[in-house]
Amino acid sequence: MAARTRSNSAGRATPLLALGACALALLPLFHPPLFFESFLYLIFFWITLATSWTILGGFSGYVSFGHGAFYGIGVYAMANLGKPLTFGPALLLAGLLAAATGVAIGAVTFRIRRLRGELFALLTLSLAIIISTIVLNTPIDGGPGVMVNIAIPHVYEQQSSTLYLIGLCVAFGSIMVARAVQLGTLGRGLFAISDDEDVAEILGVPTFAYKLIAIGISSFLAGVMGGVHAIFVSYVTVGETFSISVPLYVLLMSILGGARHWLGPALGAIVITTISYSFVGGDSALIARAAIGLTLIVATIFLPQGIIGLLLRARITAPELPAPHASFAAAPKTPPYEPTDGPLLEAREITMSFRGLRALDGVSLTINKGEILGLVGPNGSGKSTLINVVTGFYKPTGGVLLHCGHDITGMSGHERARLGLARTFQIPRPFARQTVLDNIMVPALFGARHESRGDARDRAMEAIEFVGLQDRCDALPDELNLHQRKFLELARVLASGSRLVMLDEVLAGLTPREISEAIEMVRKIHACGTTILFVEHNMRAVLELSDRLIVLNQGHLVANGNPREVIADPVVVAAYLGADHAEN
């Protein structure tokens, strides 16, 4: 799996690639038949489109059917503006116009949680159709097509050789951009978004901004390539530019090559372009076409991770284990509190309604620094909703949330994560396509500590060792048992360096022995100076751990105080066992 080796996949490929690009750049000096340059140019063209697509579609999982629109904007920007502006500025503008369109679309759609998956695909498809209709019916084209006759800078003797060089630069640049994105913090964030966007946000990934950046880069590169291609084809028409085959082939190339790796789409583009543009014999055209179809089927079936998966397989069989860390089992240090006197977190009259149903009804509570606050309540009493409100997943219908005295009610999830609020999930929600180490890297990078990348790796390793998963660093979450996945959740909040950790039923589903281990783990986390909100059904554990206990029932806070006193409270008993028992 490509993602499995993600953290160490830069390797030797890059210098080789750069060397190759340099050699290709010098190719025209040897006067090869013009056809080769032209053919290579077409490969560069598809590499750029596929690679730029993957920065959004492959990395963040926002599959777009509208990539042709960004490319088309670039084509028509050059066709219309190339003459007045000259090549260089027009090319830049081609990219910027495409990027502006992409970012504008993103700014509207990325706010809407439902617009993921196929709905995003539909949206982008519709958008491409709309843009093509506008171009067709306005003076941008109007129908008869536009002749593109623009001088390009003089590098090589032949203009076509120079165009080849430009294509090469754009393609190589795109690959390098994709590489930088993937290996950088942005890539970590995008991969997390692709696996579980909601979790990514509450772990501190600024999902909205990252998606905007991704679509901006993606559409910019496509627009630039469109600008170059307008000159290559010299006569642009709407039918050709906005044909469905552009987004379709881009998707095919990316997936075939491996959409979750910066080099994958380029490989896919090379393979598909070479096959489909090589078999052009007049009498074998149909057979060649059918052969492409067969290649797609066979390659997909036998290379489920794309071509890049095949290339990386060797590394997977011998995973590079991270170096053991010196301070084994030493808990990560929590940063000192800000010098305020009040509680760490205060909720005032929080109300949360869903279509008239009140899940939380005027709940007020405080969480003090350094305590373990137990939270119990029957199923459906609002415990998980409360956590979701505190982490910012839900925006409360009413009430105020204060953190160290500051109002954080309107703050997004990732901003709260950076303040040091973290949670675990009752049913673990790891990033399914990332290794244990990569999973923990996300909160280490984006959480309260907001570490640099080198430090984040150390922090992640510490957290992994803390929960005892150091032997499973390169495992995928699917390969862990439930107990290990729960500990993975714990390692996440540890690595984030949060001050307040909300543990949502960490004990559920564990065996008695595992429960004891988990309780011990919670104690250790607390011992490092972390404040804990402990949500649990297991009363023994609650009583054993909690400094204070609060009880929720039907959205109301019904009790608050010393754990042993609280559970004796008739109201609490009634909540659990029904009113009759309480009266007796």
CA gap 189, 197 in Å, rounded:
9
Taking the complex as a whole, how short is the minimal distance between the CB of residue 124 and another protein, in angstroms?
A: 10
Out of 139, 281, 324, 454, the only residue in the binding site for another protein (CB under 8 A) is 281
* Region from 122-130, 322-330, 384-392, 511-519 binding another protein, contact rule CB under 8 A: 122-130
* Region from 87-95, 112-120, 185-193, 336-344 binding another protein, contact rule CB under 8 A: 112-120
CA gap 342, 126 in Å, rounded:
52
Taking the complex as a whole, how short is the minimal distance between the CB of residue 221 and another protein, in angstroms?
A: 18
Task: Give the footprint of another protein on residues 410-469 (CB under 8 A).
Answer: none
Tell whether residue 568 is a contact of another protein (CB under 8 A): no
CA gap 516, 536 in Å, rounded:
14
Out of 47, 98, 171, 252, the only residue in the binding site for another protein (CB under 8 A) is 252
Out of 235, 406, 523, 578, the only residue in the binding site for another protein (CB under 8 A) is 235
CA gap 365, 558 in Å, rounded:
11
Taking the complex as a whole, how short is the minimal distance between the CB of residue 347 and another protein, in angstroms?
A: 27
Tell whether residue 107 is a contact of another protein (CB under 8 A): no
CA gap 432, 57 in Å, rounded:
17
Taking the complex as a whole, how short is the minimal distance between the CB of residue 173 and another protein, in angstroms?
A: 21
Residue with tokens 């075939």: 256
Q: Which is nearer to another protein, 7 or 64 (CB)?
A: 64
CA distances from 503 to 4, 20, 373, 379, 518 (A): 28, 51, 10, 16, 11
Task: Give the footprint of another protein on residues 481-540 (CB under 8 A).
Answer: none
Q: Which is nearer to another protein, 16 or 287 (CB)?
A: 287
Given a contact cutoff of 8 angstroms between Cβ atoms, the answer to whether 500 and 526 are in contact is: no
- Cβ of 184: how many Cβ atoms within 10 Å? 12
Taking the complex as a whole, how short is the minimal distance between the CB of residue 164 and another protein, in angstroms?
A: 11
Q: Which is nearer to another protein, 134 or 330 (CB)?
A: 134
CA gap 464, 471 in Å, rounded:
9
Out of 152, 183, 256, 444, the only residue in the binding site for another protein (CB under 8 A) is 256
- Nearest to 242, CA basis, from 124, 116, 81, 93: 124
Out of 18, 20, 107, 118, the only residue in the binding site for another protein (CB under 8 A) is 118
Tell whether residue 151 is a contact of another protein (CB under 8 A): no
- Cβ of 301: how many Cβ atoms within 10 Å? 8
CA gap 194, 184 in Å, rounded:
16
Residue window 62-91: x/- pattern of binding to another protein, with contact defined by CB under 8 A: -x-x--------------------------
Tell whether residue 237 is a contact of another protein (CB under 8 A): yes
> How many residues belong to the site for another protein (CB under 8 A)?
81
Element (H, E) at 121: helix 117-137
Given a contact cutoff of 8 angstroms between Cβ atoms, the answer to whether 201 and 54 are in contact is: no
Task: Give the footprint of another protein on residues 156-185 (CB under 8 A).
Answer: 158-160
Out of 85, 100, 129, 573, the only residue in the binding site for another protein (CB under 8 A) is 129
Token pair in block for residue 170: 């754009």
Out of 8, 133, 327, 516, the only residue in the binding site for another protein (CB under 8 A) is 133
Task: Give the footprint of another protein on residues 296-355 (CB under 8 A).
Answer: 296-297, 299-301, 304
Strand-pairing partners, residue 147, are 235
* Region from 278-286, 331-339, 387-395, 542-550 binding another protein, contact rule CB under 8 A: 278-286
Q: Which is nearer to another protein, 167 or 430 (CB)?
A: 167
CA gap 248, 269 in Å, rounded:
12
* Region from 3-11, 211-219, 290-298, 561-569 binding another protein, contact rule CB under 8 A: 290-298
Helix 159-183, helix 34-56: angle, nearest 10: 30
Task: Give the footprint of another protein on residues 24-53 (CB under 8 A).
Answer: 33-36, 38-39, 41-42, 45
Helices (H), 303-334: 306-317
Token pair in block for residue 301: 């079936």
Please give the single-letter amino acid code of residue 256: L
Q: Which is nearer to another protein, 27 or 574 (CB)?
A: 27
* Region from 83-91, 117-125, 334-342, 433-441 binding another protein, contact rule CB under 8 A: 117-125
Tell whether residue 285 is a contact of another protein (CB under 8 A): yes
Taking the complex as a whole, how short is the minimal distance between the CB of residue 567 and another protein, in angstroms?
A: 35
Helix 117-137, helix 87-109: angle, nearest 10: 140
Element (H, E) at 503: strand 500-504
* Region from 9-17, 143-151, 203-211, 310-318 binding another protein, contact rule CB under 8 A: 143-151
CA gap 200, 116 in Å, rounded:
15
Q: Annotate 560-571 with b (16+ C-beta within 10 A) or e (fewer).
A: eeebeebbebee
